[in-house]
Amino acid sequence: MVERNDIVAYLKSLQDSICAGLENEDGKAKFIEDNWTHETGGGGRSRVIQHGNVFEKGGVNFSAVEGDMPKFMAEKVNPNAKRFFATGVSLVIHPFSPMVPIVHMNVRYFETDTGESWFGGGIDLTPIYINKDQARFFHEKMKEACDAHHPEYYNKFKDWADHYFFNEHRKETRGVGGIFYDYLRPSDAASKEQLFAFMQEVGNTFLKAYLPIVAANKQMEFAPEQKNWQLIRRGRYVEFNLVYDRGTKFGLETGGRIESILMSLPEHASWIYNHQPAAGSEERKTLDLLVKGVDWGVGS
């Protein structure tokens, strides 16, 4: 039987391996670590990388906290639940170069004092300039991870990501998507062991899906206008994280450590009034692909 501690141990090792992989790709910067405790129980291990060769700012956060059940969550799983335990690894990486996509991953596990448990997670890629071949490669990795566990996971979770990583007020996806899932509860269809195995599959897929894209693009040259476009896209990223992101909202509502929650925000971002990329420009081509339901060519 999978115990809470097994999941915690895996997540800590995942944080270690992801940080090592990113440091290796960066070649210069090292993660710094801050340990913290949560006011209502538990705590976390935040790791931040800044001003590297490749990565301008990024965080890879492990946490395992206990607290009072937020109302919105109790309504979803059990109105009688009063306390929760939550553990997860969450990361957002903002590269310096507009040629290297922003990336996000989160895998998480919850328990309530009333005996419910569930898993959630996702990975999504936010290129400043969409390269369709790289988007397809990224989705192939997502599909491989999903297909190893359930034939319907990829389609379902790719669609979920398209709807979740979406700035409703802009009618724009924040990038090329990936996968997103939540409230996966042990059932006859998937045991807790199987759901934990899927969590590990997703966690272990992250570096395989992201690092080849970083390696391919990190030496590319770029112009100041391309940097400006990156700052605008980062502004959209800030909008998503502050207005919609479940992890951010959950953290803010349950008294999480603010610097760890908001380390997902970029070092620099920009808002230009009514910015409209010129017809036919690379920026316009990317914007035209920031819609739900794009078929990246990996099959279903």
How far apart CA 25 and CA 213 sit, in angstroms, is 11
Of 51, 104, 139, 149, which one is the catalytic site residue? 104
Q: Which residues, 139 to 178, sit near its own copies by CB under 8 A?
A: 168-170
Is position 227 an interface residue for its own copies (rule: CB under 8 A)?
no
Pick from 53, 258, 281, 297: which binds its own copies (CB under 8 A)? 258
CB of 272 to its own copies, least distance (A): 7
How far apart CA 273 and CA 281 sit, in angstroms, is 19
Is position 274 an interface residue for its own copies (rule: CB under 8 A)?
yes
Is 104 one of the catalytic residues? yes
Is position 59 an interface residue for its own copies (rule: CB under 8 A)?
yes
**Residue 106: closest CA among 276, 263, 272:** 263
Is position 50 an interface residue for its own copies (rule: CB under 8 A)?
yes
Is residue 124 within 8 Å of 148, Cβ to Cβ? no
How far apart CA 254 and CA 200 sit, in angstroms, is 26
Span of 13-21, 158-166, 206-214, 272-280 interacting with its own copies by CB under 8 A: 272-280
Pick from 67, 101, 177, 266: which binds its own copies (CB under 8 A)? 266
Number of residues that bind its own copies (CB under 8 A): 30
CB atoms within 10 A of CB 53: 13
CB of 39 to its own copies, least distance (A): 13
Is position 65 an interface residue for its own copies (rule: CB under 8 A)?
no
How far apart CA 120 and CA 118 sit, in angstroms, is 7
Binding mask 175-214 for its own copies (x = CB under 8 A): ----------------------------------------
How far apart CA 36 and CA 48 sit, in angstroms, is 14
Pick from 242, 287, 289, 298: which binds its own copies (CB under 8 A)? 242
Pick from 212, 239, 277, 282: which binds its own copies (CB under 8 A)? 239
Is position 269 an interface residue for its own copies (rule: CB under 8 A)?
yes
How far apart CA 198 and CA 192 sit, in angstroms, is 10
**Residue 139: closest CA among 160, 123, 163:** 123
Identify each DSSP E strand in 160-241 by its residue range. Answer: 166-167, 172-173, 177-184
How far apart CA 59 and CA 14 sit, in angstroms, is 14
List contacts with its own copies (CB under 8 A): 34, 48, 50, 57, 59, 168-170, 231, 235, 238-239, 242-243, 252, 258-259, 261-263, 265-274
Catalytic residues: 104
